[in-house]
Amino acid sequence: MTNFSERFAHLGRTVGRSVAVLALALPLLAGGASAQTTDTATVKTTDLAVTETIDLSNSPIPAQGKFYVGQRVKYILTASNNGPSAANNAVLKETTEAGLEDVQWSCVGQNGAQCPAAIGTGLPNFAIPVFPAGSDIIVTYTAKVTAEDPQLRSTSNITPPAGVIDSNPVNNTDQVYICAGDPPRLNVTKASNGPWAAFQSGATYTLTVKNLSGFADTSGLITLTDQLPRGIGAALASRFSPAAGWICSYSGEAEQNSTATAYAPDPNEAQLLTCTTNNVIPKGGTVTLTIPVTVTGSASGSLTNRASIGGGSDPQPLPDPVTCILGEQCAENTTLVTARPDPIQVCAVGQPVNLLSSVLRRYDDNDNATIENIATFIPAAETYTAAGANNRFVIDGGYYFNNGYGPGSNASTLQVVVNGTSYATLRTEAGYSGQASGTAENGATFVGGATTLTINRYTFSRLWLTLPADVKSITAFKLVFKSSSAAGEVGDDFGYDVKLFGCVKPTPAATVAKTVQNISSTPIGPVGTTGTGKPGEVLEYCITTTNTGNVGLGNLGFGDNVPANTTFKVGAYGAGKDIRVTYPTGDTFLTSAADADKGVLAAGRVTVNPNNFVLVPSAKYTVCFRATIG
């Protein structure tokens, strides 16, 4: 019995990592001989265990175990033989619910355990060929999520081989799950407040960003890119925010803001805008971004603008806005722009004349001063009358501005002053806004009759300013630059190239000459101012009007009495041809009856009223009729 007790105690101390053997001792036979028969039953036991974990390092929301359809998930299985017996050919089995595909695994043995292979495909279901007590195998497998499931389960199980009993089957199974659903799906649409006209104020694009996912909020950086079309400029201050938490920049902004590069606003239009945020857009959420732009003088026709969106854990990469295919992440807008009209410069006499002796040209970049550039005039400029629409003076010029450089650039103004009155003011904006506003004042108007407009930075913008009708002559003209910067600060700059047009003062004038000739005498009488003849002979009277002024004459009327002792000759030039009118373009014949043509004889007076005819300077027209001497 002592021997049995010692062996049991020993076995008790070694349970867990050794083989248990039970030996039964039989009683001694008579005579002291021990007839001993040993019946030994050998039973192997061990403790197999399996654990399963999920690598959450690529989970968009690790605390919730979320993964998106299309992502790959990494699972780690650890199968352990806690002993005391070997468990060669123990079976490891992994099962999953539908929604995990394209499984690839790898296997590593530790402390003497051997894997059936180093790598494999499909779920890791295999026998472990060598699995000694105290050893482990670690299986890592990845799978692609292909379906939505709030609890997509994976279950691992290990079973002992034949001839081995698992002493603790409770830890033979483990289960984990992920929350699988659609990832964030970013969508962008684009609109404008057009149609627009060149130089108009208040032009904007509106971009609407949506998260179409019904499962996941966005996470991480979201980037929106917007390629402006040619003729459209970004009107953004530095670090412009179109919505809370969003920051926008444009190509060339960093260079312009640098004190090292000074003037570098390139490109001035058609910039690539980039707007970013780390804000969370909840599933089904929407954000609206409003982008101010300038419509330059070169803009016209249908202008197409394209934008794209990406990031925020949307699995699709950010597309190029220029080449992307229109869809959820790519949008475009086409806006009609009315081109800048040419200035109306019409003179009643001749062509418009620049009243300045030289073009008023300057670039003002003084950061803290007021500078007046006073024009000089051609001789007798004050005698010229107005040009342009409705006989008004027109100031036709090109203007441009530059935001200066450095982060503290301040606003400046440029005033257009005629005869001591300001008729227009251009104003920049502090902080590299990319635009300057213009306001017509005191009855003046800009392009197309507008009273406000916007010009683009560093773009030569040809504008014209029509002065009000009460400006009858020009005696003084200047442009006044004013900086709002204090000493030591940086201010915006203005450049310009300006002309002022007027016309020669119109002077209407005409002369009238009357001649008579006896056309039936033999020989025919001379042309003179006095006619003679015998009764029955015919006299031809002709009255010629000559434009001796410098403007065209319209609404010309003719009237002359048939001389006494004569009778108006009907049909003098043929049937139905009583009166001959010789225009600069040729002869026309009229009747003397009160009919539809422009000639008539009434109460002894011949009248002709060519009311739609304009006699240009130096031209003449003649009216002739004939009378018979009584």
Same domain, residue pair 270 and 378: no
**362 with 484, same domain?**
yes
Residues 467 and 495 in one domain: yes
- Predicted pLDDT at 540: 97
Do 469 and 517 lie in one domain? The reply is: no
Contact between residue 326 and residue 345 where contact means Cβ atoms under 8 Å apart = no
Question: Using an 8 Å Cβ cutoff, are 154 and 52 in contact?
Answer: yes
How many domains does the chain contain in total? 5
Q: Please tell me the predicted confidence (pLDDT) of residue 10.
A: 25
Say if residue 24 is in the same domain as residue 95: no
**pLDDT score at 259:** 54
Confirm if 131 and 88 have CB atoms less than 8 A apart. yes
The two counts, helices (H) then strands (E), for the chain are 2, 44
476 inside domain: yes
What's the CA gap between 453 and 200, in Å, rounded?
A: 5
- State which of 181, 201, 233 marks the end of a domain: 181
Q: Give how far Cα 340 sits from Cα of 195, 295, 499, Å.
A: 14, 10, 18
Residue 444's H or E segment, with its range, is: none
The whole domain housing 302 covers: 186-338
Find, among 290, 270, 300, 333, the residue nearest to 459 by Cα: 270
Q: What does the block give as tokens for 335?
A: 């806006």
The predicted pLDDT at position 319 comes to: 96
- 258 falls within a domain: yes
Task: Specify if 344 maps to a domain.
Answer: no
Q: What is the CATH number of the domain that holds 144?
A: 2.60.40.740
Structure confidence at residue 256 (pLDDT): 62
Residue 345 forms part of a structural domain: no
Residue in 622, 327, 227, 265 with CA at minimum distance from that of residue 456: 265
Cα first-last separation, the chain: 185
Identify whether residues 490 and 373 lie together within a single domain.
yes
φ/ψ of 254, rounded to 5, equals -60, -40
pLDDT attached to residue 17: 31
Are 327 and 369 part of one and the same domain?
no
Strand partners, 270: none
Element spanning 26, H or E: none
257: phi then psi, degrees, rounded to nearest 5: -75, -10
Q: How far is Cα 223 from Cα 184, in angstroms, rounded to an integer?
A: 14
Work out the number of other CB atoms within 10 angstroms of the CB of residue 159: 17
Residues 550 and 577 in one domain: yes
Q: Residue 292: which of 207, 204, 224, 229 has the closest Cα?
A: 204
Q: For the residues of 283-322, what is the DSSP string, one character each?
A: TT-EEEEEEEEEE-TT--EEEEEEEEEEETT-SSPPPPTT
Are the beta carbons of 233 and 294 closer than 8 angstroms? yes
Question: 382 and 329 share a domain?
Answer: no
Residue 195 and residue 321 in one domain: yes
Give me the pLDDT at residue 504, please. 81
Do residues 128 and 114 touch, judged by C-beta distance below 8 A? Answer: yes
Q: What is the pLDDT of residue 460?
A: 85
Please give the backbone phi and psi of residue 616, each rounded to the nearest 5 degrees, phi first. -75, 160
Pairing mode, strands 452-456 and 510-518: unpaired
Residue 122 domain-assigned (yes or no): yes
Question: What is the pairing mode between strands 330-338 and 196-197?
Answer: parallel
Per-block average pLDDT, block size 10, for the chain (630 residues)? 27 29 34 41 88 94 90 97 97 97 98 97 97 98 95 97 96 96 94 95 96 90 96 87 94 65 64 96 97 93 97 93 95 95 72 91 85 94 75 88 69 95 93 85 91 87 91 95 82 91 85 95 92 93 94 87 95 96 94 92 93 89 95
| Radius of gyration of the chain from its Cα atoms, rounded to whole angstroms | 51
Same domain, 497 and 515: no
Q: Say if CB 529 and CB 515 are below 8 A apart.
A: yes
